[in-house]
């Protein structure tokens, strides 16, 4: 097996979407029920299109209750696995198909630099891989799926704030990080950004600030002035992306969405709300919304780039109280790639 084979991009055909179900009342407190409602709406929207959903739940009580939300929804398959919390983008495996079948890349996870170490988060990725009948390939480095985004053609975006943070892999510099990303994810060209959103406990995950949405096409956000807490960061991100070049030396096409602007927690502090944390499925692009005026414009900016998918917004304010949104709580499982056609016989 060639470990450098790049995983397919998110817009490639998928066989399933894995989703984490809010399970621990002590973690979610008053947001548990409304967060479950938001996750249920996400899962139902995917299943309604005919795509399989694999929903991961932790704990006997939560597992006994979760089925009630999906009694009339077909296509949602429940799994009872140990899991610290719902952030499967970071704790779940990265899937690829090879000539030998489905593989699951697994990386070490240390609770986003030691901030949140929860029992089960280090094993849920293996449980998912086993349920998917995937062969596991383990890598001895800390890497979260939300820290990187790729296009399946050798390009990868990440941030220095996260990947070069000494709370992950002490001693990494750009060269050593790029060598690892080449070996583990087939990244032949890394686009480095600086910082992520304010108060993001992930230390700047890229899936909140910049995403590949098609070949040679990257989406990012523009600030909602005058009170957007990320104005300077978002402007720098857009400038860096416009200056970046692809493997052929050509510029990328840059698509901009409006930022939600200043969204606050109950104490008045800004939280890392982002429309960039959308999920691409076989038939839809599901964008998190937060009750801000930016939502309609964000959906409109994405629609021309997904003509065969429905671009829809769903609320994610209560999921955000845990630190993320739809992309953070999901992990796509790609469908087997169609074989290359045989060359014509002369």
Q: What pLDDT, on a 0 to 100 scale, did the predictor assign at position 345?
A: 39
Across 134-159, b (16+ Cβ under 10 Å) vs e yields beebebebbbbbbbbbbbbbbbbbbb
Q: Is the residue at 341 inside a domain?
A: no
Which CATH number does the domain housing residue 216 bear? 3.75.10.10
Let me know if residue 342 belongs to a domain.
Answer: no
What pLDDT, on the 0 to 100 scale, is given for residue 1?
Answer: 42
CA–CA dist 117, 136 (Å, integer): 23
Judged by DSSP in three states, 286 sits in strand
Answer yes or no: is 27 within a domain: yes
Q: What is the pLDDT at residue 344?
A: 44
Give the pLDDT of residue 338. 55
pLDDT digits (tens, 9 = 90+) for 253-283: 999 999 999 999 999 999 999 999 999 999 9
Return the bridge partners of 334, or none.
14
Positions of the chain with pLDDT under 70 = 1-4, 338-346
Q: Which pLDDT score is estimated for 40?
A: 95
DSSP labels, 63-116: HHHHGGGGTT-TTEEEEE---SSS-HHHHSPEEEEETTEEEEEEEE--HHHHT-
Helix/strand/coil for 50: coil
* pLDDT score of 269: 94
- Asked, for residue 346, whether it belongs to a domain, the answer is no
Position 168 in a domain = yes
1 domain-assigned: no
Give pLDDT, residue 343: 41
What is the pLDDT, as a whole number, of residue 4?
Answer: 60
| CA-based R_g, the chain, Å | 19
pLDDT of residue 99: 87
Length of the chain: 346
Overall number of domains in the chain: 1
Residue 57 known to be catalytic: no
Q: What range does the domain containing 252 cover?
A: 14-334
Whole-structure pTM value = 0.95
Q: How much is the pLDDT for 341?
A: 41
């Amino acid at each position: 097996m060639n470990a450098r084979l790049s995983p397919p991009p998110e817009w490639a055909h998928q066989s399933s979407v894995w989703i984490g179900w809010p399970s621990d009342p002590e973690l979610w407190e008053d947001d548990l029920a409304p967060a479950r409602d938001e996750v249920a709406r996400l899962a139902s929207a995917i299943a309604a299109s005919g795509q399989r959903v694999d929903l991961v739940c932790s704990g006997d009580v939560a597992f006994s209750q979760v089925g009630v939300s999906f009694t009339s929804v077909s296509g949602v398959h429940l799994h009872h696995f140990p899991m610290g919390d719902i952030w499967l983008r970071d704790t779940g495996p990265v899937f690829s198909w090879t000539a030998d079948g489905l593989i699951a890349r697994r990386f070490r996870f240390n609770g986003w630099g030691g901030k949140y170490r929860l029992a089960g988060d280090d094993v849920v990725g293996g449980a998912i891989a086993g349920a998917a009948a995937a062969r596991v390939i383990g890598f001895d480095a800390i890497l979260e799926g939300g820290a990187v985004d790729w296009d399946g053609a050798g390009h990868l975006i990440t941030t220095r704030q996260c990947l070069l943070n000494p709370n992950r892999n002490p001693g990494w510099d750009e060269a050593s990080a790029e060598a690892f990303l080449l070996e583990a994810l087939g990244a032949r060209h890394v686009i480095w950004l600086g910082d992520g959103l304010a108060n993001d406990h992930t230390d700047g995950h890229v899936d909140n600030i910049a995403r590949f949405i098609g070949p040679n096409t990257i989406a990012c956000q523009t600030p909602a002035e005058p009170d957007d807490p990320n104005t300077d960061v978002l402007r720098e991100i857009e400038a860096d992306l416009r200056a970046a070049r692809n493997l052929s030396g050509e510029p990328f096409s840059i698509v901009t969405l409006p930022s939600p602007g200043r969204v606050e927690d109950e104490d008045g502090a800004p939280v890392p709300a982002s429309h960039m944390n959308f999920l691409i499925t076989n038939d839809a692009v599901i964008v998190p919304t937060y009750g801000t005026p930016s939502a309609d414009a964000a959906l409109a900016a994405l629609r021309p780039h997904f003509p065969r998918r429905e671009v829809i917004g769903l609320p994610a304010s209560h999921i955000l109280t845990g630190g993320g949104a739809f992309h953070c709580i999901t992990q796509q499982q790609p469908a087997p790639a169609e074989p290359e056609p045989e060359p014509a016989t002369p």
